[in-house]
């Protein structure tokens, strides 16, 4: 039964990675692409790492327990660092003058192209 739960978590993580990839390829501007990358990457990494941690906790030797706790620690670090990095990149884009698609001058830019 635990193996099925692990496969579900891993499959959901891969599905979120595919959604992130789709968002990166199809969204029109920097900010929406960063949103897709930040949200999807964090969620998919957490799901995959949680599935791997459950798998390692299924085999209760000392080494597997230590590995499971390390995986959970990595997941917590990703949960904190990934949104922070996404915010920093979006702030840098804003400070450098990247305008959102469809902003106040977005329709004029599209007509000129």
**26 has pLDDT over 70:** yes
Within the chain, where are the H helices? 2-26, 30-57, 62-95, 106-112
**5 has pLDDT over 90:** yes
For residue 104, what pLDDT is reported? 61
Q: Which residue has the tokens 């692990």?
A: 6
| Backbone dihedral angles phi then psi of residue 68, each to the nearest 5 degrees | -60, -40
**Would you place residue 9 in the very low, low, confident or very high pLDDT band (cuts 50, 70, 90)?**
very high
For residue 98, what pLDDT is reported? 86
pLDDT in tens, 34-70: 999 899 999 999 999 999 999 998 877 778 888 989 9
**113 has pLDDT over 90:** no
């Amino acid at each position: 039964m635990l193996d099925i739960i692990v496969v579900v978590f891993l499959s959901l993580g891969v599905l979120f990675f595919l959604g992130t990839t789709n968002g990166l390829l199809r969204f029109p501007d920097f900010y929406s692409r960063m949103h897709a990358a930040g949200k999807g990457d964090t969620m998919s990494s957490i799901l995959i790492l949680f599935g791997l941690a459950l798998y390692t906790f299924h085999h209760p030797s000392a080494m597997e327990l230590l590995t499971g706790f390390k995986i959970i620690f990595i997941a917590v670090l990703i949960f904190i660092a990934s949104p922070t990095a996404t915010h920093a990149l979006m702030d840098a884009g804003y400070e450098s003058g990247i305008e959102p698609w469809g902003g106040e001058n977005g329709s004029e830019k599209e007509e000129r192209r």
